[in-house]
């Protein structure tokens, strides 16, 4: 059991309060057409009051067809390791209860060998994946998860993760891939909008590797860019898929921070179109 180190600080520690806040954020999202099968999301991971209203735009799409398993990929902010840290089995716990690990899919990744590593300790204090869980527990309460942290986010890691996910998930239509990432950090709001605009354009580009090239040139565009790159590449493996930006905002939009120093957030969907 991996218990939450951030409940009560990054998000409410009381189940009723947490559920109410998540449900309120989801209700604020307008109905959105589904131009294909949803195969992936890109979602931010700051404190719920800051990035939650943006994250809700992606998670609102799950209500119509909740996935059976969600692969969560994100950066490691606290661990010091190389490779891809997979949580192999058991469960994660939040105030909303337990969310079980899909041990079979975790095992399928680990069976591919390094850089996939069974490193549950790398997840103990990490927030990037946990910030996705309250939304999942509200919109897809029966879903299981496969948590994967990228140790360095070097190109070799995100390419290995993309290939490993494509091989392990295969043709399963009940698995959703989620990349956890914030965008630019600590610029003025206008400067952040310009930098984040480059990311949004790359995500929606018809050129499959546009985001990968942008992020590899300058990783400061997205703190979880390696996870985003892996999910985009895996989602497009063997199929046509397009990325749609759903919402972009920054931490200043929460009304509490000076707009001279903000963090950017984006919610985007990957749709299989063929």
DSSP state for residue 113 in the 8-state scheme: -
CA distance 259 to 236: 36
List, as one string, the DSSP characters of 1-40: -EE-SSBTTTB-SSHHHHHHHHHHHHHTSPP----SEEEE
Structure confidence at residue 257 (pLDDT): 66
Residue keyed to tokens 């520690």: 13
Specify the DSSP class assigned to residue 140.
-
> What's the Cα-to-Cα distance from 74 to each of 153, 188, 252, 272, rounded to whole Å?
9, 25, 23, 22
- For residues 33, 27, 43, 46, the Cα torsion angle rounded to the nearest 10 degrees is 160
Dihedral sign for Cα atoms in the order 138, 141, 146, 147: positive
Give the pLDDT confidence of 36-65 residue by residue, as tens digits: 999 999 999 999 999 999 999 999 999 989
What are the per-10-residue average pLDDT scores of the chain (274 residues)? 97 98 98 94 96 98 95 92 97 98 98 98 96 98 98 95 96 95 95 96 92 92 95 92 96 81 96 86
Q: How many residues does the chain have?
A: 274
Q: What angle do CA 42, 47, 52 make, to 5 degrees?
A: 50
What value does the mean pLDDT of the chain take? 95
Q: What letter would DSSP give residue 77?
A: S
* Cα-based distances in Å from 245 to 5, 14, 192, 250, 262: 31, 32, 16, 15, 20
For the whole prediction, is pTM greater than 0.75? yes
Q: Which domains does the chain have, with CATH numbers?
A: 2-272 (3.40.830.10)
Predicted pLDDT of residue 207 = 87
Retrieve residue 71's tokens: 């692969």
């Amino acid at each position: 059991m991996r218990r939450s180190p951030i409940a009560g600080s990054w998000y409410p520690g009381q189940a009723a309060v947490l559920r109410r806040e998540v449900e309120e954020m989801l209700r604020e999202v307008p109905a959105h057409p589904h131009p294909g099968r949803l195969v992936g999301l890109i979602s931010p991971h700051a404190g719920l009051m800051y990035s939650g209203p943006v994250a809700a735009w992606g998670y609102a799409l799950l209500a119509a067809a909740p996935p059976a398993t969600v692969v969560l990929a994100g950066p490691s902010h606290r661990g010091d390791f190389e490779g891809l840290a997979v949580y192999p089995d058991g469960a994660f716990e939040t105030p909303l209860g337990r969310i079980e690990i899909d041990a079979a899919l975790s095992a399928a990744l680990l069976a591919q060998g390094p850089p996939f590593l069974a490193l549950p300790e790398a997840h103990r204090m990490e927030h990037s994946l946990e910030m996705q869980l309250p939304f999942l527990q509200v919109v897809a309460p029966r879903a299981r998860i496969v948590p994967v942290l990228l140790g360095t986010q070097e190109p070799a890691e995100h390419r290995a993760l993309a290939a490993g996910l494509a091989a392990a998930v295969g043709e399963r239509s009940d698995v959703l891939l989620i990349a956890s990432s914030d965008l630019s950090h600590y610029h003025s709001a206008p400067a952040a909008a310009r930098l984040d605009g480059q990311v949004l354009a790359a995500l929606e580009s018809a050129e499959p590797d546009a985001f990968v090239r942008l992020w590899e040139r300058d990783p400061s565009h997205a703190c979880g860019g390696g996870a985003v790159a892996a999910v985009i590449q895996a989602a497009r493996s063997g199929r046509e898929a397009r990325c749609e930006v759903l919402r972009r905002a920054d931490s200043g939009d929460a009304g509490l921070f000076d707009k001279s120093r903000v963090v950017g957030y984006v919610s985007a969907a990957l749709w299989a179109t063929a």
